[in-house]
Chain A
Amino acid sequence: MLKLDKNKLQDFLKAIEEEYQIQLPVKKADQTDFCNFEDTLKPNKGLEIDLNTRLSVKSPKSYLFPRSESYLEFKKDNERLDFKLKELTGKANLIFGIRNCDQESFKILDKVFLQEPVDQLYKRRRNSTITVVARCLEQSETCFCQLFEIEPAGSETGADLYYYNYNDGLYFTAGSDQGELILSDYSQYFKSVEPEIEKKLNQEANQFNGKITADSDNPLMQNKPELLYDNKEAIFNSDIWQELANRCLECGICTYLCPTCHCYDIQDYSADQSGERYRCWDSCLFSNFTEMAHGDNPREETYQRLRQRFFHKLVYFPEEQEESLACVGCGRCLGSCPVNIDITEVLALAGGVIND
Chain B
Amino acid sequence: MTEIAKDPLLPGKAIITAIRQDTEDIKTYQVRDVNGGKPFDFEPGQCAMLSLPPAGEAIFSITSSPLAEMMEFSIKNVGRVTSEIHNLKVGDQIGIRGPYGTPFPVADFQKDDLLFIGGGIGLAPLRSVINYVLKKRDNYGKVDIVCGCRTCNDFVHYEEITEEWPQKPETDVHLTVDKATDDWTGFEGYIPDYLEELNFSPAEKKAIVCGPPIMIKFVVQQLKESGFDPADIYTTLELKMKCGIGKCGRCNIGSKYVCKDGPVFTAKELAGLIETF
Given A87-B3, A88-B1, A266-B242, does the pair A79, B80 have CB atoms closer than 8 Å?
no
Among residues of B, the one whose C-beta sits closest to the C-beta of A294 is B78
Chain B interface extent, by class? 35 or more
Q: Min CB distance, A2 to chain B, in Å?
A: 30
How long is the Cα–Cα vector from A263 to B243 in the complex, in angstroms? 10
A80 touches B93 (CB 8 A): yes
> Per a CB cutoff under 8 Å, which of A76, A89, A293 touches B79?
A293
How long is the Cα–Cα vector from A353 to B1 in the complex, in angstroms? 52
Can you list, as one digit per residue, whether each of A285-307 has a CB less than 8 Å from chain B (1) or not (0)?
A: 00001111111101000000000
A79 touches B242 (CB 8 A): no
> Per a CB cutoff under 8 Å, which of A87, A270, A279 touches B1?
A87
> Per a CB cutoff under 8 Å, which of B58, B242, B248 touches A293?
B58
A296 touches B213 (CB 8 A): yes
Instruction: List residues of chain B with CB within 8 A of the CB of A292.
Output: 238-240
How long is the Cα–Cα vector from A270 to B247 in the complex, in angstroms? 25
The reply to whether the CB of A107 lies closer than 8 angstroms to some CB of chain B is: no
Which A58-97 residues have a C-beta within 8 angstroms of B?
Answer: 71-72, 74, 76, 79-83, 85, 87-90
The reply to whether the CB of A324 lies closer than 8 angstroms to some CB of chain B is: no
CB-based A-B contact count at 8 angstroms: 133
How long is the Cα–Cα vector from A317 to B246 in the complex, in angstroms? 12
Given A79-B93, A85-B4, A277-B53, does the pair A293, B81 have CB atoms closer than 8 Å?
yes
Number of contacting residues on A, CB 8 A?
Answer: 58
Q: Which among B5-13, B154-162, B171-179, B262-270 touches the partner chain? A: B5-13
The reply to whether the CB of B91 lies closer than 8 angstroms to some CB of chain A is: yes
A120 touches B94 (CB 8 A): no
Q: Min CB distance, A319 to chain B, in Å?
A: 4
Among residues of A, the one whose C-beta sits closest to the C-beta of B253 is A298
Can you list, as one digit per residue, whether each of B59-88 has a CB less than 8 Å from chain A (1) or not (0)?
A: 000000000000000001011111000000
A266 touches B254 (CB 8 A): no
Among residues of A, the one whose C-beta sits closest to the C-beta of B14 is A81
B8 touches A117 (CB 8 A): yes
B250 touches A289 (CB 8 A): yes
B55 touches A268 (CB 8 A): yes
Instruction: List residues of chain B with CB within 8 A of the CB of A119.
Output: 8-9, 245, 247
A83 touches B11 (CB 8 A): yes
A293 touches B254 (CB 8 A): no
The reply to whether the CB of B203 lies closer than 8 angstroms to some CB of chain A is: no
Q: Min CB distance, A192 to chain B, in Å?
A: 37
Interface centre among A81, A233, A265, A291 (most CB of B within 10 A): A81
A316 touches B240 (CB 8 A): no
B56 touches A268 (CB 8 A): yes
A266 touches B1 (CB 8 A): no
A266 touches B249 (CB 8 A): no
> Per a CB cutoff under 8 Å, which of A83, A120, A233, A319 touches B4?
A120
A290 touches B13 (CB 8 A): no
Given A120-B6, A293-B81, A308-B252, does the pair A82, B57 have CB atoms closer than 8 Å?
no
A128 touches B1 (CB 8 A): yes
For the A-B complex with A290-B250, A320-B255 known, give 16 more contacts whose Cβ atoms are closer than 8 Å: A71-B9, A80-B93, A81-B13, A81-B53, A83-B13, A83-B95, A85-B3, A118-B8, A119-B9, A120-B4, A233-B274, A265-B248, A266-B248, A275-B54, A298-B277, A316-B254
Give the interface of A toward B (CB within 8 A).
Answer: 71-72, 74, 76, 79-83, 85, 87-90, 112-113, 115, 117-121, 124, 128, 232-233, 236, 262-270, 275, 277, 279, 282, 284, 289-296, 298, 308, 311-312, 315-317, 319-320
**Can you list 5 contacts pairing A with B, beta carbon distance less than 8 Å?**
A71-B7, A80-B93, A112-B247, A266-B57, A298-B253
